[in-house]
Structure 1
Amino acid sequence: MISSDYVLELCNVFYSGQVEPGSCVQRVIGNIKTGVILKDVSMVVHSGEVLAVLGSKGSGKKALLDVISRRAQGPVRGQILLNNHPMSMCLFQQRCAYVTHKCDLLPGLTVEQTLYYTPTKVSGYTKRSKVKQVMADLALSQVSNRCTEDLTHSEYRRLMIGVQLIKDPVVLLLDEPTWDLDPLNTYLVVSILSNAAKKYGTAVVLTMEKPRSDVFPFLERVLYLCLGDVVYTGGTRQMLEYFNAIGFPCPQLENPLMYYLCLSTVDRRSRERFMESNHQIAALVDKFKIEGGVFRKGSTITGLSHNIEHGMHTNKIPLLIGKPGLFSTGWNIYMRLLIATLSFKRAGFRQIFLRLFLLPVFFFMLWIFYREMKDLQHTFISRSGLILNCLAGVYFVGIINTILMYPTYRTRYFQESQEGLYGGTLFLLTYNLVSIPFSFLTTLAASAIVYSLVGSFDSSMEYFYFSLVLWACYIFTEQQTMAILMIVKDNFTAAIASIYITAVCITLSSGILRSIKGLQDWLYYLTFATQVRYASAFLNRKVFTNPLLNQALPFDLRQNCTNMNLVDASLLSGVSNPYCRYANGLAFLTERYSRDPTDVIFSGILEEDLNIGVTFAFALGMIVFNMFMYLVPLPAFVKAKFRE
């Protein structure tokens, strides 16, 4: 039963856009091939009806859905009306829905959780009842507790439809919902859509490339497209009358949907057939423009056309109903991220391992490798290597975790942002509220493993500061990788870029792989703009000002360095024992950081409060920078990469 009377109408719609894929350079300079994709398209679909848009590949089916949903990238002429109101982006996002051909649902969430945590205006008991109703309508009740990654192809497609039906749309667009499904599941999906259209009073518009005969009874209307031209649009049963009247009757035992689709498709098997079919289709297009008006306007639902013609329903049914509240939307996003992370399923265990255990496992391997360090001259190099590995481990594990986990949520964000559900700032805020506490716990645990090698547990604050610096490094590289992933779709490319940037910063600014004092002036001053300089200086000070290293360490068990001056590092060159290079930890720091051998204080380079403050400032600055970047409109060629 139809609860409300809605009508979606297209009148003489023309759409010009990109007709073939262009390279990144072509998109930047605007040198891409464009053309007319839709030519004078007119159609009508009412509440409770299912309209199938049929055509071969390249006929303009998806472009038509993009035009209706206001996602088309190019000039559009003509009228798109919902209850005689122009279809704006805001109107479509509030009252309509679009099930794209590809939809990435979050792994770790069950079917019921996926539906429940979709942002909508209703909540609580009402929403739970709606979720159960939608699952029953889509034959998903028996798999309600199954995770999305464990669903069959058909179940996943039906869940994609359910995510949109939960919003109660008055118009539902679907791009190839039966693609790659077997005949039984194709029949199931189309029959479910037909029943949902009748039950909820929704106008359903779906595209199909290979329609089967058994779905014929579920299609009230059909639209045939060929290279953007309308060959026929109107009632499915009236279609047989129309083509029979113009001299193209459907043979007995033939699938009429497929027969007339072949009739509306250009035959490219030979030049002669191409010319012949092209002329025939042009004649069919012209014929329908002259004689097809009555078929286009006709309604298959009794009593509805009278209301439409007189516009009686347009003043009774409110169109704009507003969006879900900001707090409600943020809470839904946060909860589904948290539940997906803490899920007792394969995806959840994977995320828990990456977020909590990967970094401690790496630091445990460092502990095994460095635990036999002796208090000899070589310990200066060994401890320096330990600091380098701690920094590199935190940075690179942060990159790995982000590359393996963030893209799934990023893709879902890009898909939902097109629906107008929320913006990038809210998405980043909720993601960080989930990610940052986990990163704090994992760096705290990892630091506890190696801290006994670099300091003493006598002071809990020293250990806490040591953990905080590593945590800030983790946050910074995580945010850096997220910024790259905002414009780079390929995960591997983004990982390589982030690793390269981090490796260069560690090499130049840490003072471990190369002494800072040996850098050219422009490189030296450039290091001040990197986080690793301050983090490394803080960690080196903590390690090499340890009382254990504030003495002349022997070269080995037989040779000592007691004759070395422990105060003035400038006397190192006159040491009588050539095997003892460093008088103490301060001498080692002087060699790595001081550009002036007489400057023992290093001009504040090793100032503890400054280094920890600037290290955290870089991390917080990167978080703010990412949120700002998600507010700035991206170029069209960048957004196009994430459109599907």
Structure 2
Amino acid sequence: MIAGDYILELCNVFYSGQVEPSSCIQRVIGSIKTGVILKDVSMIVHSGEVMAVLGSKGSGKKALLDVISRRAQGPIRGQILLNNQPMSLCLFQQRCGYVTHKCDLIPGLTVEQTLFYTPTKLTGYLKKSKVKQVMADLALSQVANRCTEYLTQSEYRRLMIGIQLIKDPVILLLDEPTWDLDPLNTYLVVSILSNAAKKYGTAIVLTMEKPRSDVFPFLERVLYLCLGDVVYTGGTRQMLEYFNAIGFPCPQLENPLMYYLCLSTVDRRSRERFVESNHQISALVEKFKIEGGAYRKGSSVTGPNHTLDHGMGHNKVPLLLGRPSSLATGWTIYRRLLSATITFRLAGLRQMFLRLFLLPLFYFLLWTFYRDIKDLQHTYVSRSGLIFNCLAGAYFVGIVNTILLFPMYRTRYFQESQEGLYGGTLFLLTYNAVSLPFSLLSVSGACAILYPLIGSLQNSLEFLYFILVLWACYIFAEQQTMAILMIVKDHLSAAIFSIYITCVCLTLSSGILRSIKGLQDWLYYLTYATQTRYAAAFLNRKVFTSSMFGQALPFDSKHNCTNVNLIETSTAMSDPYCRYANGQSFLTERYSRDHTDVIFSGILEEELNIGLTFAFAFGMIIFNLFLYLIPLPAFVKAKFRE
């Protein structure tokens, strides 16, 4: 690609935004302190050039990148042009790239897989060739089969750059790509960026806080910022000429990049130095506004007299090229999720254990406790407790798995959605397409372990119903936790909140820990809005209306229940050892408010209960699909940007 095909230009850009963190109360009432962050910033960068934005912390470097990428929250004045066309969010997402300071990649994927499963318009052989080319350009070929969690910091940063280069951006923004790197790796990263700019014709804008002298030859342009003001912008070679002309020559053997950065930084070591440096910087800013026009448009290649060609030639280069279809993007994300899960690497084995074996392991522990259940009077309470533990296990394991597995994919989604690659609905559809089959297999294996204590495996239909009800409970817990994680970043807080809701529902609605008939009216009717009521009612009916519970069970091996009144279940019994005449009397005590026949009153109706159990599960899936479409407040989205 010929240098000069693409030109990024900022003209008199002002940006106002939040200048310091505010409390939650201030956010709610709208009391957020704002100020001018960028003040009259103008700059230009051409294809094939590398521009370094230099400044101390708080100078506005990251804000400048956010303004160019259209991610900034707040009023923006001025023009941001790409080939004389206004830079819109859609244009940036399609033709530009942004490497943020922190990027969370999916563990379990190799370097090559991470690049290959980045959604782009390329497919098949062309994409594989592009991946190999990018890895070679970024010196990553030797670690192509290494998982992302085992990369060094330098390799990780280069992989982050490769994820953007795989999309062939015409403008590439990088926020502190050399932060915390040693001198050798800093030189390596900047030299690689310079080579990539020349090879791909990409205009690269990167921020640096402590530039080293050995990166000077790789920077065609430089922009010095101080508290949002431009001290100098233009070619790095012309920078020496400019500062020498205004009376600030760089001493010999000094690093010019660092020397002029110190010159552009407010000295806060004392009040006198603060005032003096402030006046000096203000004078430098005004001086550049008057005399820096020619240098602003110049570069080390074209010289200070270069001017931007505003002819129509630049507009001939296509900008909006379209995006890959939702089907192609969804297929790429789905394969990425499968590759991260079905693998013999440590991260993949961990996911496989959580998805497939955690619930069966819990049910096996239940089996060891309940395997000696006898057909005696106490089995009513024991089997009711077994049902409760089955429900609790499905709910809590679903929550634990979601807390441990979903956040890493959620974070990657928030980062990629800012790039316009896909939306929340597509992300959830692909995640559920992977998660649901695994959860069905896990629940089926777990039920095969425990069901012989409840019913006969020979009755395949009853066993299938048992699996489906517990699967619906697992799905509901999973989706409930995913909804909470939409707005709660901390995993532990989300887990506690989800477990608390589930515990309340199990306690009040299942009819196991306490009888539903003992609830207050408003709580009783509230149980109709919980899934646990219908799931517990279905399982209780399946167990306690079986032939085994059709008549009174003996109290123990010595005391038989022969004179139990089959109508009154707990108060008018002639046998002091026996409480329940049969399974129906036990269910009446747990679910009926007026001692009516619960079997025929609709409370334990099979079709209704299993239908509503699944309605809650899949209704929660639909709710999440809509939830991830709702625009969130800026302060909520900011939690997931880094």
TM-score band by shorter chain is over 0.9
Residue 354 of structure 2 is matched in structure 1 by 354
- Local SS of the residue matching 1:5: coil
1:157-205 Cα distance to aligned partner (Å, 9 max, x none) = 0000000000000000000000011111100000000000000000000
Residue 468 of structure 1 is matched in structure 2 by 468
Question: Are the equivalent residues in 1 in contact too, given 2:4–2:46 (CA < 8 A)?
Answer: no
The letter of the residue matching 2:228 is: G
Q: 1:301 Cα shift? A: 3.5
Residue 387 of structure 1 is matched in structure 2 by 387
1:389-418 Cα distance to aligned partner (Å, 9 max, x none) = 110010000000000000100011010111
Q: Residues of 1 paired with 2:363 and 2:184: CA distance?
A: 53
Count, aligned residues: 642
Q: 1:226 Cα shift? A: 0.3
Residue 493 of structure 1 is matched in structure 2 by 493
Q: 1:313 Cα shift? A: 2.8
Residue 641 of structure 2 is matched in structure 1 by 643
Residue 524 of structure 1 is matched in structure 2 by 524
Residue 620 of structure 2 is matched in structure 1 by 622
- Local SS of the residue matching 2:539: helix
Specify which of 588, 603, 613 is matched with residue 605 of structure 1.
603
Structure-2 change in CA distance of 1:366 and 1:31 (3 Å)? same
Q: Residues of 1 paired with 2:487 and 2:427: CA distance?
A: 16
Question: Are the equivalent residues in 2 in contact too, given 1:5–1:304 (CA < 8 A)?
Answer: no
1:210-256 Cα distance to aligned partner (Å, 9 max, x none) = 10111010000000000000000000011111111111111111111
**Residues 189-208 of structure 1 aligned to structure 2 (within 5 Å):** 189-208=189-208
Residue 58 of structure 2 is matched in structure 1 by 58
Question: Are the equivalent residues in 1 in contact too, given 2:238–2:303 (CA < 8 A)?
Answer: no
Residue 101 of structure 1 is matched in structure 2 by 101
**Residues 59-458 of structure 1 aligned to structure 2 (within 5 Å):** 59-302=59-302, 308-458=308-458
Q: 1:603 Cα shift? A: 2.2
Specify which of 631, 634, 640 is matched with residue 632 of structure 2.
634
- Local SS of the residue matching 2:601: helix
- Local SS of the residue matching 1:223: strand
User: For structure 1, which segment, 580-589 or 615-624, has the greater mean C-alpha deviation from structure 2 after superposition?
Assistant: 580-589
Q: 1:324 Cα shift? A: 1.1
- Local SS of the residue matching 1:574: coil
User: Structure 1 unaligned runs (5+)?
Assistant: none
Q: Residues of 2 paired with 1:62 and 1:106: CA distance?
A: 25
Percent sequence identity over aligned pairs: 81
Structure-2 change in CA distance of 1:303 and 1:43 (3 Å)? closer
Question: Are the equivalent residues in 2 in contact too, given 1:16–1:74 (CA < 8 A)?
Answer: yes
Q: Residues of 1 paired with 2:301 and 2:2: CA distance?
A: 10
Q: Residues of 2 paired with 1:225 and 1:58: CA distance?
A: 9
Q: 1:305 Cα shift? A: 8.4
Q: Residues of 1 paired with 2:176 and 2:19: CA distance?
A: 20
Q: 1:372 Cα shift? A: 1.0
Residue 581 of structure 1 is matched in structure 2 by 579
Q: CA RMSD in A?
A: 1.4
Q: 1:306 Cα shift? A: 6.8
Q: 1:640 Cα shift? A: 1.2
Q: Residues of 2 paired with 1:50 and 1:579: CA distance?
A: 88
TM-score of the two chains, using structure 1 as the length reference: 0.98
Residue 535 of structure 1 is matched in structure 2 by 535
Q: Residues of 2 paired with 1:15 and 1:184: CA distance?
A: 36
The letter of the residue matching 1:459 is: N
- Local SS of the residue matching 1:233: strand
Residue 557 of structure 2 is matched in structure 1 by 557
Q: Residues of 1 paired with 2:452 and 2:35: CA distance?
A: 68
- Local SS of the residue matching 2:73: coil
Question: Are the equivalent residues in 1 in contact too, given 2:154–2:181 (CA < 8 A)?
Answer: yes
- Local SS of the residue matching 1:35: strand
Q: Residues of 1 paired with 2:598 and 2:398: CA distance?
A: 35
Q: 1:457 Cα shift? A: 1.5
The letter of the residue matching 1:584 is: N
Q: Residues of 2 paired with 1:310 and 1:228: CA distance?
A: 27
Question: Are the equivalent residues in 2 in contact too, given 1:24–1:637 (CA < 8 A)?
Answer: no
Residue 590 of structure 1 is matched in structure 2 by 588
- Local SS of the residue matching 1:77: strand
Question: Are the equivalent residues in 2 in contact too, given 1:121–1:324 (CA < 8 A)?
Answer: yes
1:349-377 Cα distance to aligned partner (Å, 9 max, x none) = 00000000000000000000110111111
1:245-288 Cα distance to aligned partner (Å, 9 max, x none) = 11111111111111111111101111111111111111110111
The letter of the residue matching 1:605 is: I
Q: 1:309 Cα shift? A: 2.0
1:508-536 Cα distance to aligned partner (Å, 9 max, x none) = 00000110010011100000000000000
Q: 1:304 Cα shift? A: 12
- Local SS of the residue matching 2:224: strand
Question: Are the equivalent residues in 1 in contact too, given 2:49–2:197 (CA < 8 A)?
Answer: yes
Q: Residues of 2 paired with 1:143 and 1:297: CA distance?
A: 40
- Local SS of the residue matching 2:230: strand
User: For structure 1, which segment, 291-300 or 68-77, has the greater mean C-alpha deviation from structure 2 after superposition?
Assistant: 291-300
